[in-house]
Amino acid sequence: MRLVAIGGSDAGISAALRARELDPGADVTVVVADDYPNFSICGIPYHVSGEVPDWRNLAHRTVADLEATGMRLRLGTTAERIDVDAHEVHVRDPQGAPSSIAYDALVVGTGALPVRPPIEGLDLLDPHDGVHVVHSMGDTFEVMRSLTRADARTAVIIGAGYLGIEMAEALIVRGLEVTQVEQLPEVLPTVDPDLGGHVAAELRSHGVAVVTSTAVHRLTRSGSPARSSLRVDGASSDGTPFTREADIVLIFAGVCPDVSLATAAGATLGVRGAIDVDRTMRTNLPDVFAAGDCVVTHHRLLGTTYIPLGTTAHKQGRVAGENAIGGHREFAGSLGTQVVKVFDMAAARTGLRDHEAVAAGFDPVTVAVEADDHKAYYPGSHRIAMRWTGDRATGRLLGVQLFGHRNAEVAKRIDIASTALFNEMTVEAFSDLDLSYTPPLGSPWDAMQIGAQAWVRAILEGNAAD
């Protein structure tokens, strides 16, 4: 059995590992475009901050670990074309020499590409000017060079999603003055505005100048490469001009699926231009599977959508690898469960927000509530702000959002909600869960159960959050 995986990140490596696990005799080759297979892109901000000093520690597994499983890694090798009829992948090695790799089954895990927003001057500037669109380990090294080469003291971050917020913290930790610009009215727009407001307040309390409802229109540079001066120009939604000077500019404007290789081979595309796959991760091409940020996502509440997440990519890759060697497994589906650390706080979500639930055909009710993470009489308790969304008619849990102190187990509490959503529980049934209790760590009714009970009361009383 000859399995080839294209892409050395979460999906491709997971596919290769699963195939070798189930069939130690399988001939598994992974084509990796760079020299950094199985690296945690989510960990980049913590290397930039210095909290993870050695970039090599961002690898989930070393090259030696991966090769010890029996897979073959083709590092620095570009996949240029898939010949579906001949069952071959045409590649080019680091020296530029072309060759082909035959396969019985192929897994495409080409991931996503960073969005380059339509900012005047962006295409004229590059990392040597101190402007970075950050998405890969190569981008990370360029950022580190800019920070040291220019002795950077000021930074502008364009975009206030998960990575943008984490990078703002990283640069503050390094001692820079940071301005964060978000085009939408709130930072972290994947949560409701009141929780986004909490996130913005936490950023500001640590020195980040947060500017919302503002779009950047132009980037210009003056000075020498050794000491660049970057000017960032834009305007707020009401037309007020915005200008900042900075030593370094980082751009986090989202991602789009990298599908050029697959489409050239005839793969069908789906939501947001991602490769269309079924729940077994099969494409329309014979013996070709695909997984990760380049494919559509089965969502347990929404059906087919697109959610580029590392956790999802790992699971999809595992399914693809198993089925590529003859298995019959289906991807169980995503709920979009996410969490982000914001200095001393954390924000998390799972499932649907109110407007998403309406679009999916539900009749949602959303309730805002707060509760202590453990008994308030024990020192060190923290309040957790919550938003609970459930279906009015059936009582089915649809989504939960949390914001609280990093020590309040926000990540694990959102995982409890995700587990309940996965099993299609009602909000009321949440109170029946047998959760642990000791005063330093919890309460007889966990904070999450208090939130669920507040939702049930709101339904009975006819009161819902705005």
List the catalytic residues.
Answer: 42
SS (H, E, C) the chain: CEEEEECCCHHHHHHHHHHHHHCCCCEEEEECCCCCCCECHHHHHHHHCCCCCCHHHHECCCHHHHHHCCCEEECCCEEEEEECCCCEEEEECCCCCEEEEECCEEEECCCEEECCCCCECHHHCCHHHCEEECCCHHHHHHHHHHHHHCCCCEEEEECCCHHHHHHHHHHHHCCCEEEEECCCCCCCCCCCHHHHHHHHHHHHHCCCEEECCEEEEEEEEEEECCEEEEEEEEEECCCCEEEEEECEEEECCCEEECCHHHHHCCCCECHHHCECCCCCCECCCCCEEECCCCECEEECCCEEECCCCHHHHHHHHHHHHHHHCCCCCCCCCECCCEEEEECCEEEEEEECCHHHHHHCCCCEEEEEEEEECCCCCCCCCCEEEEEEEEECCCCEEEEEEEEEECCCCHHHHHHHHHHHHHCCCECHHHHHCCCCCCCCCCCCCCHHHHHHHHHHHHHHHCCCCC
Angstrom distance (rounded) from CA 53 to CA 71: 29
Q: Which residue has the tokens 């231009």?
A: 273
Question: Do you know the residue count of the chain?
Answer: 466
